[in-house]
Structure 1
Amino acid sequence: MMEHGGCFINWCISAVLIGFTLPVYAQDSSLEVDIFADARVTVTSGEPTWFNDWLGKGRYGGERDKGTDAEFRLAEVSLLAKYNLTWDLHAFAHVKYDPEQDKPADVVEAYFSYEPVPKSALRYSFKAGLYFPHISRENTGIAWTSPYTITPSAANSWVGEEIRALGIEAKAEYRHEMHRLAFTVGIFGMNDPAGTLLAFRGWGIGDAKVGAFSQVPLVSLPVFTAEGGFIPQPTWVHPVREIDGRPGYYMAADWRYGRSVSVGVFYYDNRGDPEAFEHKQYAWDTRFWNAYIEAEPVKGLKLISQYMFGRTEMGPKGWGGSDRRYLDVNFDTVYLLASQEFGKYRISGRGEWFGVEDNSLLSIDNNNEDGYAFTVALSRKIGARDILMMEYLYINSDRPARAYIGFEPHQENSLLQLSFRKVF
């Protein structure tokens, strides 16, 4: 599909950005620009974050030899631009500054969308470029944030970290009275390493959105760093990267009845060749299902549940006499979120469970994991678009691989955050 992945992604993103400079003479052309900033005070305890090359679960973690740690942080500054070339053809770009990221300024999304005028109950839309597939039911706010909590669930945290489509999408939606039925299909590339974090780190619960050109760290596990290590994996992964030249695909079906209930199912398969190795990265054969139900039984009360399960594999078969690959893990997670609005205020609560089942080489590389978390958040709107939000997140997890780096397998993390989200 693509021999030089980096050149291809540069070309695709450049094509979208060029769209903002094209001379457009249509009367309805316009440019919309927003700047989104998120500043926080965080109080953390427990295991260090995985961003500091550990196996912590949160975006922010504690200090190994200390108790509670309190800091003021700039979580992100995002530039979001939407160019309406015509009333039904749009170019969108999301560029983010994040001081924790490998490349502090990076592209999150950049795509064209086309939504022609519906001439019947059946309507169509199309998308092309770099974008998040429509998996998350939480990240519906500006700059792919959640209006309910600061930190999304484990499922949607992973989407922000590793899942990005550089491809094309087509959607058909049929509307009849209060019913809406939609089918979506997409073909994509540049997401071959997806699954690396789930296998080597496990689930994370954080709001990091990894940029298209950025790498994220991996802990120095014995299987690829110590003498005798057998996996030529560096201690980082670049999630948006083409390795094997094979396109992946996804498809989805969604049904909605008015504003009261929505249900849907989504399937993703990157069709990675697990034995392909290029740019110091393996292609991972990653596929998963995502199902959701969303309801608003009374005005202002939102109930959301998502269940994600799948499998990812990497490396050749037969190492050490096994019929499994180097890495072969099943993964799943489920959450239930309830959120109630009271005028300018919103209170939200979420409980979730997550797990990883390792199917290979447990005696030397145990990637099993089991855990749960709960989150409580209170927010207040300030003016038309600004939000002040406080959140408490507690994570309890067991991961045997922590013993490889001198930690107890069982760890608890807690994070208290105060966030001010400002839109300019």
Structure 2
Amino acid sequence: MRLSCLALTVSMWTFGQSALAHEITAQIDLRAVVVDSPLDSFTEGGTGQLRFGGDDDGLRLGAVMIDAAGEIVDTVRYGVTARATGDGDRNPIDLTEAYLEWRPYPSSPLRWKTRVGAFYAPISLENRAVGWDSLYSISASAINTWMGEEFRTIGLETSLTALGATAGRNFDVSIVASAYGWNDPAGILLFQRGWGIHDRQTALFGELPRPLVQDPSIPNIEFFDEVDGRYGYYAGVETKIAGRHVLRALHYDNRGDTAEVEAREPTWLTRFDSFGARIEMPLEITAIAQYMQGDTAVGASADGRGFIIVDLESWFVLLSRQHGRHRYTARYDRMNTETVRGARFFDSHQDADAWTAAYLFSFNDHWQLAAEAIRLSGSLRQRAEIGLSPNATERLLQLAARYSF
């Protein structure tokens, strides 16, 4: 079961004439898990693409999470999130986000927002709950699972929003741009294990075992490291229609120098484009669709593109209905990777899909129950490197109980 959301809110702290709002949320996440899989989980160094593997049946810790957010002054806010996952990570509890956000007083229909620190890029249309959790299910889509695994903006992001109401339009338009560092290893997990589906967020100082390495003397993967001294960037645009519907596009490029291979993690050149839409329909039905396409590369080459290059592609569609205290969600994911250069040295290839169904029921302000079932099936050629069959089907049932106060 997932016992989630131990929530404590400190609503108002008053300093002089101003009232500054602060909110602290603590979550405890326990799960009853039933797994049908021939593979060990990636958290144990296996090539399984779900969070729990074949021998993980029983009661498991999903996470302990503490989230704090509030105002420092009227125009400056902070956000800090820490998590513990209980699966042998380096630190018992670690940060996943920590940032400051500045929103200057508006003097025109334009609205500025700037964040600095460590935070998620504005890619996911699912992960809208406290602590960057999904609002619709326990596990996120493959695209947003990857965002939680290997990506964090450690740097600066600024956005500008043109409000439509002042011009008689029913939509707002925003542009966003960021410069960041400490993301040179991004791509290694997708290269070795392929796309996955789960809710585990990598902590800023966390690590994972290497899926295809069976030598315990080789260190785990560290995801947030600066190797080549280059800054990456992303830039995107968003349209919000009638305050409800969202269209979003973003280009991401970590500008990795693939010739830099001397550090614990070599530099990966990872680039992708992401497109998504969230539509709020009658009967409290939400539809989300997202598509991502790009490539990741590693190793020195004459053209700077990388010695080994892997194309990546994934998309999903989600339907969710909120009916009173009930929420029903169904999602379909499609996942592909393909080595397009250097396959004779390492052939990274995945062709898989997944179905996810979730049900959430809120008894009251304190208690919520949930159930989620995932079926992920397909081929991962990398498994042949360690003597496994490339083809596998993994099934996971999670039952959740969430308590908040």
If the length of structure 1 is used for normalisation, what is the TM-score? 0.86
| Aligned residue identity for 1:99 | G
1:128 maps onto 2:120 in alignment: no
Q: Is the 1:324–1:360 contact (alpha carbons within 8 Å) kept by the matching residues of 2?
A: no
Q: Is the 1:151–1:207 contact (alpha carbons within 8 Å) kept by the matching residues of 2?
A: yes
Structure 1 residues 288 and 202, CA, compared in 2 at 3 Å: closer, same or farther? same
1:91 maps onto 2:91 in alignment: no
CA distance in 2, matches of 1:193, 1:147: 29
2:176 paired residue number: 184
1:272-287 aligned within 5 A: 272-287=256-271
| Aligned residue identity for 1:175 | L
Q: Is the 2:258–2:266 contact (alpha carbons within 8 Å) kept by the matching residues of 1?
A: yes
2:225 to 209, 227, 241: 241
How far off is 1:299 after superposition? Answer: 3.8
1:197 to 180, 189, 193: 189
1:29 maps onto 2:17 in alignment: no
C-alpha deviations, 1:344-392, integer Å up to 9, x for none? 0000000010000112332342211110000000001232264321000
Partner SS state of residue 359, structure 1: strand
Deviates more, 1:290-299 or 1:112-121: 112-121
C-alpha deviations, 1:57-89, integer Å up to 9, x for none? 1011114xxxxx521011111111123112221
1:219 paired residue number: 211
1:117 maps onto 2:98 in alignment: no
| Aligned residue identity for 1:290 | S
1:359 maps onto 2:346 in alignment: no
1:345 maps onto 2:345 in alignment: no
1:172 paired residue number: 160
How far off is 1:249 after superposition? Answer: 0.6
Q: Is the 1:26–1:85 contact (alpha carbons within 8 Å) kept by the matching residues of 2?
A: no
1:43-54 aligned within 5 A: 43-46=34-37, 47-54=39-46
CA distance in 2, matches of 1:237, 1:273: 19
Partner SS state of residue 336, structure 1: strand
How far off is 1:253 after superposition? Answer: 0.1
1:208-357 aligned within 5 A: 208-221=200-213, 234=218, 236-317=220-301, 325-357=306-338
If the length of structure 2 is used for normalisation, what is the TM-score? 0.90
| Aligned residue identity for 1:118 | P
1:393 maps onto 2:374 in alignment: yes
CA distance in 2, matches of 1:324, 1:248: 15
Structure 1 residues 25 and 105, CA, compared in 2 at 3 Å: closer, same or farther? farther
2:130 to 126, 142, 158: 142
Partner SS state of residue 123, structure 2: coil
Structure 1 residues 324 and 92, CA, compared in 2 at 3 Å: closer, same or farther? closer
2:8 paired residue number: none
| Aligned residue identity for 1:262 | V
CA distance in 1, matches of 2:51, 2:16: 45
Q: Is the 2:141–2:316 contact (alpha carbons within 8 Å) kept by the matching residues of 1?
A: yes
1:77 maps onto 2:64 in alignment: yes
Structure 1 residues 52 and 251, CA, compared in 2 at 3 Å: closer, same or farther? same
CA distance in 1, matches of 2:16, 2:308: 54
Partner SS state of residue 113, structure 1: strand
Q: Is the 1:260–1:297 contact (alpha carbons within 8 Å) kept by the matching residues of 2?
A: no
Q: Any stretches of 5+ residues in structure 1 without a counterpart? A: 1-22, 64-68, 227-232
Deviates more, 1:72-81 or 1:384-393: 384-393
How far off is 1:236 after superposition? Answer: 2.5
| Aligned residue identity for 2:58 | E
1:230 paired residue number: none
CA distance in 1, matches of 2:260, 2:16: 47
| Aligned residue identity for 2:308 | L
State the number of aligned residues: 386
